Homo-oligomer: A and B are copies of this chain.
């Protein structure tokens, strides 16, 4: 996180990093990550490129978290607790169904 903020601040990019554009950036990078898998089986994919595109997704996700002063570990833990209610082990085990179809 420190590296990200230093990189951003040295370039005076905070002015562009409003939350809406950061959410856009996450989508753009997620799309570039997805492109690596397009028309392919998972095992054909170039892992070096995955590292790069996945790093971009993480970078903008962390920058958006920083905007709202969110603790990433905390929001994931909170969400997992919500999901545990939506997807109780006994119902969700071994099925990929959505919670409203369980």
Q: How far apart sit A88 and B4, CA to CA, in the bound complex (Å)?
A: 15
Q: Is the CB of B42 within 8 A of A68?
A: no
Give, as a whole number of angstroms, the nearest-CB distance from A41 to chain B. 8
Q: Is the CB of B80 within 8 A of A59?
A: yes
Known: A23-B34, A27-B31, A45-B19. A39 touches B78 (CB 8 A): no
Give, as a whole number of angstroms, the nearest-CB distance from A16 to chain B. 4
Interface of A is mostly: helix
Selected contact of A93 from candidates B11, B64, B94, CB within 8 Å: B11
Contact with B along A73-99 (1 / 0, CB 8 A): 001111110111001010011101000
Q: Which residues of chain A have a CB within 8 Å of any CB of chain B?
A: 3-4, 7, 10-13, 15-16, 18-21, 23-28, 30-42, 45, 47, 50-52, 54-59, 61-62, 64-65, 68, 70, 72, 75-80, 82-84, 87, 89, 92-94, 96
